[in-house]
Amino acid sequence: MENIEIAYQEALDYLYSFIDYSLTRAFRYSPEKFDLSRMRSLAERLGNPQEKYKSIHVAGTKGKGSTSALIAKSLQEAGYKVGFYTSPHLTDYTERIKVDDEPISHADFVELVNVLKEQVQFVPEITTFELTTALAFLYFQKCNVDIAVLEVGLGGRLDATNIVVPEVSVITSISYDHEHVLGDTLAKIAYEKAGIIKKGRPIVLSPQKEEARKVVVSIAEARHAKLFQVGQDFLFAPWSHSLSGQSLLVWSKAEQPQVNAFIESGGRQNWEPLRLTIPLLGYHQVENAATAYAALQVARDEGIAIQEGDIVRGFANVFWPGRFEVLRRNPPLIIDSAHNPDSALKLRLAIDDYLPGQPVILLFGASEDKDIHGMFSALLPRVKTVIATQSVHPRAIEPEKLVEQSFQFGCSAQAVVPIEAALNRALELAGQETVIVASGSLFIAAAVREIWFNMKRDMHPATLTNGKIHV
């Protein structure tokens, strides 16, 4: 076992020895750097493993991970063997590549990295993400999955995952992020996201701002891809919510007359829209759930057999940590992966919705290239004080700079590193009455989650089951 762990670390080091744009402070997203011909060449040398199973391809600025997780879990409930490729990871790199919720083993990871080593000499300038994507494709083939749910890493058009021809493509919420990479307007960003649309393959689109929506509609028409819009072709409404979870109603455009009758009757009709319950919190997750439901309905029309009961169970049982996740309920300790102004606003709305009037300490760290002023504009009016910290990531901004920006909003702040010390300081200041929200990046959310997990394990081992914390 020890030898496998050494070999696993060596395999990781090998992958990271290639170009890794996720660790670069600034770069230009262009065909010169992101050239799908490299990925196609590598896949061809590997026997095009991505063609050996069906796939669903998911892009978007926010919500693509949650939406992908809901789709994957529902397909699993329907009896399919499901591959799930996502990024980044919370604690272990293998979390990016799963089959039926189980991450690839370290032994399999090492084995497949060795397979890749035999091919990289033939593909100059290959990147870490491209190699990881190829590894996922190989692993899914090795496991004989029926279908893979593939989350885009960055953008869409030139992303390494974009060599697949999926049963259904999905685009979740589009907002400003990675502007130096994807473009400085919503239209430019939408153009990159819509690059996953394939000729003649259906596309499901989350509700969008009109500037982004028009671009996707235009590209779908040009590629003769049937477009299904959530909010038009598939409709939804929130039903109930608490810190334990929330529910929503979903229905198709054809069912709207029945929904009207249901509303007019005050809910006393025998028929009612499908009600779905999810453990994911925040209104944006209602939108993500509606998008996942629409994608599964379209997938069923494409020949993937799935029943409503499978979707109900899949949505109820999904586990997607780090997204408005409640680690402690009283007083609340919450982690969230918000890392741009749009997701920060959604976090602020969720705080107002679930924790109205309660004082908030914000434990915050972010990457240097993010719109921190935009995030602070959304969050700091709701915050009592900021604990600025820093993750162990090359792009992480110095906490002292975060303190300076906090002062510009008239908010008290202090810099505390490392993250463990920052969490302890937040817990000390919060006492028994103040909410702690850790956010700014997935790296901050992941670190706080792991630290809290270890604290709880040391104090109360019985409160932990399968990586879930019972609060």
The CATH code of the domain that includes 11 is: 3.40.1190.10
- 61 and 173 part of one domain: yes
Q: Give CA–CA dist 143/203, Å, rounded.
A: 27
In total, how many domains does the chain have? 2
What DSSP designation does 111 have? H
pLDDT value for 26: 47
Enumerate residues 6+ apart whose C-beta is below 8 A from 65: 86, 151, 320, 323
160 located within any domain: yes
Give me the sign of the Cα torsion angle 59, 397, 364, 317. Answer: positive
Q: What is the pTM of this model?
A: 0.91
Residue-wise pLDDT for 99-141, tens only, equals 999 999 999 999 999 999 999 999 999 999 999 999 999 999 9
pLDDT value for 394: 83
Give the chain's radius of gyration (CA, Å). Answer: 22
What DSSP designation does 104 have? P
Highest mean pLDDT among 32-41, 182-191, 424-433: 424-433
For the record, the structure tokens of 219 come out as: 């590209």
250 located within any domain: no
Cα 464–chain centre separation: 24
pLDDT value for 29: 44
| Contact between residue 124 and residue 139 where contact means Cβ atoms under 8 Å apart | no
Pick from 145, 146, 163, 162: nearest CA to 154: 162
| Model confidence band, residue 2 (pLDDT cutoffs 50, 70, 90) | confident
- 338 and 189 part of one domain: no
CATH number at residue 449: 3.90.190.20
| Contact between residue 113 and residue 342 where contact means Cβ atoms under 8 Å apart | no
For the record, the structure tokens of 467 come out as: 């990586």
| Contact between residue 337 and residue 445 where contact means Cβ atoms under 8 Å apart | yes
| Contact between residue 102 and residue 124 where contact means Cβ atoms under 8 Å apart | no
299 located within any domain: no
What DSSP designation does 19 have? B
Of the residues 179, 204, 229, which one is the last residue of a structural domain?
A: 229
Q: Is the pLDDT of residue 461 over 90?
A: no
336 located within any domain: yes
pLDDT value for 31: 47
279 located within any domain: no
305 located within any domain: no
Sequence-ordered alpha helix ranges (H) in 268-361 = 283-301, 308-317, 341-354
- 224 and 360 part of one domain: no
Residue-wise pLDDT for 436-458, tens only, equals 999 999 999 999 999 998 998 77
What range does the domain containing 420 cover? 325-469
- 43 and 168 part of one domain: yes
- 223 and 356 part of one domain: no
Q: Give CA–CA dist 166/26, Å, rounded.
A: 31
- 12 and 131 part of one domain: yes
Q: Is the pLDDT of residue 385 over 90?
A: yes
- 69 and 214 part of one domain: yes
SS3 436: strand
Dihedral Cα 143, 147, 151, 153, nearest 10 deg: 50
252 located within any domain: no
Residue linked to tokens 């072709």: 233
Of the residues 163, 197, 229, which one is the last residue of a structural domain?
A: 229
- 214 and 331 part of one domain: no
Enumerate residues 6+ apart whose C-beta is below 8 A from 142: 108, 112
- Partners of 149 in the β-ladder: 56, 84
Half-sphere exposure of 184 (CA within 13 A, CB side): 2
What DSSP designation does 401 have? H
| Model confidence band, residue 56 (pLDDT cutoffs 50, 70, 90) | very high
Exposure b/e, 236-264, CB count within 10 A at least 16 = b: bebeebeeeebbbbbbbeebeeebeebee
Of the residues 229, 254, 275, which one is the last residue of a structural domain?
A: 229
| Contact between residue 388 and residue 403 where contact means Cβ atoms under 8 Å apart | yes
260 located within any domain: no
